[in-house]
Structure 1
Amino acid sequence: MATPTTQLRVLVAGGGTAGHIEPALAVAEALVRDHGAEVLALGTPKGLETDLVPARGFDLKLIDPVPVPRKPSVALLKLPYRVVRAVRQTQAIIRKHNIDVVAGFGGYVSAPAYIAARLTRTPFVVHEANARAGMANKLGVRLGGVGLNAVADSGMPGQVVGVPIRASLSQQPTAADRAAACELWGLRPELPTLLVTGGSQGARSINNALAVAAPAIVAAGFQILHAYGKKNEAPDAVPGYVAVPYIERMDLALAVADLIVSRAGAMTVAEVTAAAVPALYVPLPHGNGEQALNAMPIVNAGGAQLIPDSELDGTKLAEAVIALLGDADLRQHMSRVASETGLGHAAEEVATIVAGLSRRA
């Protein structure tokens, strides 16, 4: 039986990929910092949350994964049983820990959370980070969750609040941050720096293009910091080209970056825009086209540029990067446009909404 407590208790559900986990953790940190809440995270053994959540100091509660088969199969026949089992596991967590509010951020782990919240009569929030809402979040709103959107017209009803990002990424980088980044990665402070994030799922085309473009970029007088992904083969060493499997201090990476090349996940676009870093986005060509939609507001405003994945190759990447890094006035304009968006406070706003939904309130 749960022990009564006067402290607000929240269960955040956003597992699988960083695009679901990072907004959940940003709100979790705001709930602790601003509302004195105790926050638990819900996930499965198969997602990145098994690494990311404990590293940020939160207690992770695991339930069985509920993959949705795309084709008729035995696994599809087992889906109802798996959903029921995951929902019951989540109900047990809600009851055992006396959860006041559930906050979901999409992905497979969120659907059981929404259903369990409805069955236990626990208030819940549904946050959609992408420009097009996913199935789990649409279900959550239909079940009675309070819908919150990163952008308008996502296909899911709800207030527009932006994408929650962690506090360390919502501040404009300082000269001290840039110096710390140069020391950490052995970069030269006087050279313009290209940051490339090629470690996300489906970023192979970016890594392949950079392998061809890197020598030309370095020869033009620039340097590169490249996160190539833990599961990918390390690139060949080139002077002026620092390749690492993963970047833990993304705040420092953004501080040293004069330009970033990356996919256009909602979380990435929000973080890069809040840091006012000029960007060259290569949207993932799969799915329902949400990555291109994520990037278009800042691209149309002039704070970023876009290259379709189908047009990306080493030559085009080198030309685009060299042109941008060689034009300080254009980059200053792009940075100013990004800084004028006002992004960076969504985590606090969502945390306030979650706290207000508490059964204690």
Structure 2
Amino acid sequence: MNHQSSTRPSAHPLRVVIAGGGTGGHISPAVAVAEELRRRMDVELHWIGSQSGFEGEAASTQNIPFHTIRTGKLRRYVAAATVMDAIRIPIGIWEAGAILRRIKPNVIFSTGGFVSVPTVIAGRFSGIPCLTHEQTASLGLATRINARFCDVVALSFPGQGKIFTRKRTRVLVTGNPIRPSISQGKRKMLLALFDIPPELPLLYVTGGAQGARALNDTVAEALPELLQHAAIIHQCGPQSGNGDHARLVQLRDKLHPDERVRYHPVERVSGELAHIYASATLVIGRAGAGTVAELAALGVPSVLVPLPGADEQRKNARVLADVGASIIIPQGELTSSRLVETVQSLISSPERLQKMRTAALSVAPKDPANRLCDAIVALATQD
């Protein structure tokens, strides 16, 4: 695909405000698009988010000026905090409006999450064109609200349900972008980072940025049997969050030396994730939007355990499972014996794993970061 038409030759940089965050699923596409915009053209980026989310750290890592606003969590149910959050949202709209008047952006790129809503609404009142992107297979409440104020709604998957938008709002399917660096991993780099026997299949267990207690407990119970067949990198979440890392390290230290070298519990992963994906025989994890996008784009077979009560994760997982790229185990049915049986059946069948890889690649839209950049630049430069 030729993207030269969207390079926007100009004496002034394209000024883009990113709005969104809270979780990694809303942050990763923002980073991927920021990297692609910078590759293409002279661009001035700003990020508006909350003080408590992960987006501030991401903006700092990307050298993007970060501006904080107050905001409230959007809920579909009544809760004690609803009143205070209802007060914070209009305050956040006023604060976002003040920031936008100071920055004077050409366009707003929203990646959703409740923190994006005040900036999107303020942008609409200020006459600034806006594109909002939905990462999951189920429309989030923030996207449903943002769609009423945006010029373009970008979806990751087709057929995501009815969207109530303004008459002139365009709806398009772009896919969910991943950072280019994620696809550049090398197995030899992983072996240099982790002392893993190279002849073994590799399982990558991930509960997302915060970890998943149910996954951690089940893997810990199944560890003796799993390690007979594979090496494991286990991203279990921060010790300060769920307290599991220290427990899993103690469990590893009690293993026989031949097994100990096969098990690597870590709190989080960053730059090494690309090398893990390049080496993984199978991923065992939650079904967050970012994880599912990465599995599809990289063609990695998976066993997914959607977060209970999170309909969007159930639908995300179905995107892969429906084409044969993943096996879903509901958390209520997750046991150590079920996990061991599922893993053994997969890693003992190279033919089936290859079919799962091909199937995963089949559901990944091509060039999602480029498609989003095209739409953002076109929106910013429209007459």
TM-score normalised per structure 1: 0.91
- Superposition deviation, residue 72 in structure 1: 5.1
Work out the CA distance in 1 between the residues paired with 2:340 and 2:322: 22
- Superposition deviation, residue 188 in structure 1: 2.0
User: Is residue 205 of structure 1 aligned with residue 218 of structure 2?
Assistant: no
Work out the CA distance in 2 between the residues paired with 1:243 and 1:202: 11
- Residue 184 of structure 1 aligns with an amino acid whose one-letter code is L
The answer as to whether partners of 2:19 and 2:120 remain within 8 angstroms in 1 is no
- Give the 3-state SS of the residue equivalent to 2:51 in structure 1: coil
Match of 1:124 in 2: 130
The answer as to whether partners of 1:279 and 1:304 remain within 8 angstroms in 2 is yes
- Superposition deviation, residue 124 in structure 1: 0.1
2:337 aligned to which of 315, 321, 345: 315
User: Is residue 103 of structure 1 aligned with residue 73 of structure 2?
Assistant: no
**Count of aligned pairs between the two proteins:** 351
Deviations 1:317-355 (A, max 9, x none): 111112211211211221122234454511111011001
The answer as to whether partners of 1:53 and 1:60 remain within 8 angstroms in 2 is yes
The answer as to whether partners of 1:270 and 1:343 remain within 8 angstroms in 2 is no
Where do 1:346-357 residues align within 5 Å?
Answer: 346-357=368-379
Match of 2:8 in 1: none
The answer as to whether partners of 2:299 and 2:358 remain within 8 angstroms in 1 is yes
- Residue 34 of structure 1 aligns with an amino acid whose one-letter code is R
Match of 1:160 in 2: 173
Match of 2:21 in 1: 15
Match of 1:265 in 2: 288
2:30 aligned to which of 24, 27, 32: 24
- Residue 260 of structure 1 aligns with an amino acid whose one-letter code is V
Where do 1:233-244 residues align within 5 Å?
Answer: 233-234=244-245, 235=248, 236-237=251-252, 238=255, 239=260, 240-244=262-266
- Superposition deviation, residue 64 in structure 1: 1.5
- Superposition deviation, residue 360 in structure 1: 6.8
1:246 aligned to which of 262, 268, 272: 268
CA spacing shift, 1:275–1:144, aligned 2, 3 Å: closer
* RMSD across aligned positions (CA): 2.0
- Superposition deviation, residue 163 in structure 1: 0.7
- Residue 296 of structure 2 aligns with an amino acid whose one-letter code is T
2:191 aligned to which of 174, 179, 182: 182
4+ long deviations beyond 4 Å: none
Work out the CA distance in 2 between the residues paired with 1:349 and 1:325: 35
User: Is residue 224 of structure 1 aligned with residue 232 of structure 2?
Assistant: yes
CA spacing shift, 1:135–1:332, aligned 2, 3 Å: same
Match of 2:360 in 1: 338
Match of 2:78 in 1: 71
Work out the CA distance in 2 between the residues paired with 1:228 and 1:247: 10
- Superposition deviation, residue 93 in structure 1: 1.6
Work out the CA distance in 2 between the residues paired with 1:32 and 1:316: 46
CA spacing shift, 1:143–1:97, aligned 2, 3 Å: same
Give unmatched runs, 5+ long, in structure 2. Answer: 1-10, 164-170
CA spacing shift, 1:132–1:125, aligned 2, 3 Å: same
User: Is residue 196 of structure 1 aligned with residue 205 of structure 2?
Assistant: yes
CA spacing shift, 1:188–1:101, aligned 2, 3 Å: same
- Superposition deviation, residue 296 in structure 1: 1.5
Identity, in percent, stands at 33
Give unmatched runs, 5+ long, in structure 1. Answer: none
